[in-house]
Amino acid sequence: MDTPLLIAGLGNPGSQYAKNRHNAGFIVADELHAHYRFGPWKTKFEGLLSEGSLAGRKTWLLKPQTFMNLSGDSVGPALRFFKLPLESLVVVHDEIDLAAGKLKVKTGGGDAGQNGLRSISATCGANYRRVRLGIGHPGDKERVTGHVLQNFSKDDIAWLKPLVDAMVEAAPLLAKNDDAGFMSRVALQLAPPKDPKKKDTE
Protein backbone atom coordinates (compact mmCIF):
# COMPACT_ATOMS: atom_id res chain seq x y z
CA MET A 1 0.00 0.00 0.00
CA ASP A 2 1.69 3.19 -1.17
CA THR A 3 -0.92 5.50 0.34
CA PRO A 4 -0.44 6.06 4.07
CA LEU A 5 -3.18 5.30 6.58
CA LEU A 6 -4.69 7.67 9.14
CA ILE A 7 -6.32 5.97 12.13
CA ALA A 8 -8.34 8.40 14.25
CA GLY A 9 -9.44 7.18 17.67
CA LEU A 10 -12.28 9.29 19.05
CA GLY A 11 -12.79 10.47 22.61
CA ASN A 12 -12.77 13.49 24.91
CA PRO A 13 -9.51 15.02 26.20
CA GLY A 14 -8.77 15.21 29.92
CA SER A 15 -8.09 12.67 32.63
CA GLN A 16 -11.67 12.85 33.93
CA TYR A 17 -12.88 11.29 30.66
CA ALA A 18 -10.06 8.78 30.16
CA LYS A 19 -12.04 5.69 31.25
CA ASN A 20 -15.41 6.77 29.82
CA ARG A 21 -17.23 4.49 27.39
CA HIS A 22 -17.14 7.42 24.95
CA ASN A 23 -13.33 7.22 24.97
CA ALA A 24 -13.11 3.72 23.50
CA GLY A 25 -11.39 5.16 20.42
CA PHE A 26 -8.65 6.80 22.51
CA ILE A 27 -8.15 3.54 24.42
CA VAL A 28 -7.62 1.57 21.17
CA ALA A 29 -5.30 4.27 19.75
CA ASP A 30 -3.16 4.19 22.91
CA GLU A 31 -2.85 0.40 22.75
CA LEU A 32 -1.90 0.49 19.06
CA HIS A 33 0.67 3.19 19.87
CA ALA A 34 2.29 1.08 22.58
CA HIS A 35 2.13 -2.31 20.83
CA TYR A 36 3.54 -1.22 17.48
CA ARG A 37 6.05 1.24 18.95
CA PHE A 38 4.83 4.33 17.20
CA GLY A 39 6.78 7.56 17.60
CA PRO A 40 6.09 10.05 20.41
CA TRP A 41 2.75 11.86 20.46
CA LYS A 42 3.04 15.38 19.07
CA THR A 43 0.49 18.18 19.29
CA LYS A 44 -0.77 18.84 15.78
CA PHE A 45 -4.09 19.45 13.99
CA GLU A 46 -5.77 20.21 17.33
CA GLY A 47 -4.97 16.66 18.31
CA LEU A 48 -2.21 14.27 19.35
CA LEU A 49 -0.44 12.73 16.36
CA SER A 50 2.00 9.83 16.18
CA GLU A 51 3.78 8.24 13.23
CA GLY A 52 4.58 4.57 12.73
CA SER A 53 3.72 1.67 10.48
CA LEU A 54 1.32 -1.26 10.31
CA ALA A 55 2.03 -4.23 8.01
CA GLY A 56 4.71 -2.14 6.32
CA ARG A 57 2.25 0.68 5.56
CA LYS A 58 3.05 4.16 6.86
CA THR A 59 0.41 4.95 9.45
CA TRP A 60 -0.51 7.97 11.56
CA LEU A 61 -2.48 7.70 14.76
CA LEU A 62 -4.58 10.73 15.70
CA LYS A 63 -6.45 11.50 18.91
CA PRO A 64 -8.48 14.71 18.37
CA GLN A 65 -8.32 17.00 21.40
CA THR A 66 -11.30 19.10 20.28
CA PHE A 67 -13.91 17.18 22.28
CA MET A 68 -15.99 14.55 20.51
CA ASN A 69 -18.52 16.92 18.88
CA LEU A 70 -15.77 18.73 16.93
CA SER A 71 -13.64 15.72 15.91
CA GLY A 72 -13.80 16.83 12.26
CA ASP A 73 -11.87 20.01 13.16
CA SER A 74 -8.87 17.77 13.87
CA VAL A 75 -9.36 14.92 11.38
CA GLY A 76 -10.15 17.18 8.39
CA PRO A 77 -6.95 19.27 8.54
CA ALA A 78 -4.81 16.14 9.07
CA LEU A 79 -6.35 14.42 6.04
CA ARG A 80 -5.80 17.53 3.89
CA PHE A 81 -2.25 18.15 5.13
CA PHE A 82 -1.14 14.61 4.27
CA LYS A 83 -3.15 14.75 1.00
CA LEU A 84 -4.88 11.48 1.83
CA PRO A 85 -8.01 10.18 0.08
CA LEU A 86 -11.02 9.49 2.29
CA GLU A 87 -10.45 5.72 1.81
CA SER A 88 -7.21 6.08 3.82
CA LEU A 89 -9.12 7.20 6.93
CA VAL A 90 -10.12 4.70 9.61
CA VAL A 91 -12.13 6.04 12.56
CA VAL A 92 -12.35 3.98 15.77
CA HIS A 93 -15.32 4.90 17.97
CA ASP A 94 -17.82 3.67 20.55
CA GLU A 95 -21.21 2.53 19.24
CA ILE A 96 -24.36 2.38 21.40
CA ASP A 97 -26.32 0.54 18.69
CA LEU A 98 -24.02 -2.47 18.96
CA ALA A 99 -24.20 -4.85 21.91
CA ALA A 100 -21.43 -4.42 24.46
CA GLY A 101 -18.30 -6.22 23.33
CA LYS A 102 -19.36 -6.54 19.68
CA LEU A 103 -17.24 -5.18 16.84
CA LYS A 104 -18.17 -4.14 13.33
CA VAL A 105 -16.29 -2.45 10.50
CA LYS A 106 -18.19 -0.60 7.81
CA THR A 107 -17.48 2.01 5.15
CA GLY A 108 -19.70 5.06 4.82
CA GLY A 109 -23.29 5.29 6.01
CA GLY A 110 -24.98 7.47 8.60
CA ASP A 111 -23.63 8.59 11.96
CA ALA A 112 -26.37 6.95 14.09
CA GLY A 113 -26.27 9.88 16.51
CA GLN A 114 -22.51 9.57 17.09
CA ASN A 115 -21.47 13.22 17.20
CA GLY A 116 -17.83 12.54 16.41
CA LEU A 117 -18.81 10.81 13.17
CA ARG A 118 -21.29 13.57 12.38
CA SER A 119 -18.53 16.17 12.68
CA ILE A 120 -16.05 14.16 10.56
CA SER A 121 -18.63 13.43 7.84
CA ALA A 122 -19.62 17.12 7.71
CA THR A 123 -15.96 18.12 7.32
CA CYS A 124 -14.58 15.33 5.11
CA GLY A 125 -17.48 13.41 3.58
CA ALA A 126 -18.95 10.13 4.78
CA ASN A 127 -17.10 7.52 2.72
CA TYR A 128 -14.47 6.48 5.29
CA ARG A 129 -14.06 3.27 7.27
CA ARG A 130 -15.49 3.08 10.77
CA VAL A 131 -14.41 0.54 13.37
CA ARG A 132 -17.42 0.39 15.67
CA LEU A 133 -16.83 -0.86 19.21
CA GLY A 134 -20.14 -1.78 20.81
CA ILE A 135 -20.84 -0.38 24.28
CA GLY A 136 -24.53 -1.30 24.39
CA HIS A 137 -27.59 0.93 24.73
CA PRO A 138 -28.91 1.92 28.17
CA GLY A 139 -32.44 1.21 26.90
CA ASP A 140 -33.75 4.74 27.27
CA LYS A 141 -32.89 7.67 25.00
CA GLU A 142 -32.76 10.03 27.99
CA ARG A 143 -29.97 7.96 29.56
CA VAL A 144 -27.66 7.81 26.53
CA THR A 145 -25.48 10.81 27.47
CA GLY A 146 -24.97 9.53 31.00
CA HIS A 147 -24.20 6.05 29.67
CA VAL A 148 -21.47 7.12 27.24
CA LEU A 149 -19.90 9.54 29.73
CA GLN A 150 -19.72 6.96 32.51
CA ASN A 151 -16.54 4.97 33.09
CA PHE A 152 -16.42 1.41 31.84
CA SER A 153 -17.66 -0.77 34.71
CA LYS A 154 -15.82 -3.77 36.16
CA ASP A 155 -18.10 -6.03 34.13
CA ASP A 156 -17.24 -4.03 31.02
CA ILE A 157 -13.50 -4.39 31.59
CA ALA A 158 -13.93 -8.19 31.50
CA TRP A 159 -14.87 -7.97 27.80
CA LEU A 160 -13.15 -4.70 26.88
CA LYS A 161 -9.56 -5.75 27.54
CA PRO A 162 -9.70 -9.00 25.48
CA LEU A 163 -11.53 -7.15 22.69
CA VAL A 164 -8.99 -4.30 22.52
CA ASP A 165 -6.10 -6.78 22.67
CA ALA A 166 -7.64 -8.75 19.78
CA MET A 167 -8.19 -5.54 17.76
CA VAL A 168 -4.57 -4.52 18.27
CA GLU A 169 -3.28 -7.96 17.25
CA ALA A 170 -5.46 -7.92 14.10
CA ALA A 171 -4.74 -4.26 13.19
CA PRO A 172 -2.26 -5.08 10.36
CA LEU A 173 -5.24 -6.47 8.42
CA LEU A 174 -6.86 -3.02 8.58
CA ALA A 175 -3.69 -1.62 7.03
CA LYS A 176 -4.12 -4.18 4.23
CA ASN A 177 -7.71 -2.98 3.70
CA ASP A 178 -8.93 -6.44 4.71
CA ASP A 179 -11.86 -5.43 6.90
CA ALA A 180 -13.54 -8.85 6.74
CA GLY A 181 -10.25 -10.53 7.69
CA PHE A 182 -9.84 -8.08 10.58
CA MET A 183 -13.30 -8.89 11.97
CA SER A 184 -12.73 -12.64 11.52
CA ARG A 185 -9.36 -12.51 13.29
CA VAL A 186 -10.85 -10.60 16.22
CA ALA A 187 -13.76 -13.06 16.48
CA LEU A 188 -11.33 -15.98 16.40
CA GLN A 189 -9.20 -14.42 19.16
CA LEU A 190 -12.26 -13.96 21.35
CA ALA A 191 -13.76 -17.42 20.74
CA PRO A 192 -13.64 -19.61 23.85
CA PRO A 193 -11.04 -22.37 23.53
CA LYS A 194 -12.46 -25.74 22.62
CA ASP A 195 -12.42 -28.29 25.40
CA PRO A 196 -10.41 -31.26 24.08
CA LYS A 197 -12.25 -33.57 26.48
CA LYS A 198 -15.58 -32.77 24.89
CA LYS A 199 -16.31 -34.81 21.82
CA ASP A 200 -18.74 -33.66 19.20
CA THR A 201 -22.03 -35.40 19.78
CA GLU A 202 -23.96 -36.85 16.89
33 has catalytic annotation = no
Distance CA 75, CA 9 (A): 10
Asked if residues 45 and 81 have their Cβ atoms less than 8 Å apart, the reply is: yes
Q: Is 48 exposed, middle or buried (0-12, 13-18, 19+ CB in 10 A)?
A: buried
Q: Which one is catalytic: 22, 33, 93, 147?
A: 22
Q: What is the DSSP letter of 137?
A: -
User: Hey, which residues are catalytic here?
Assistant: 22
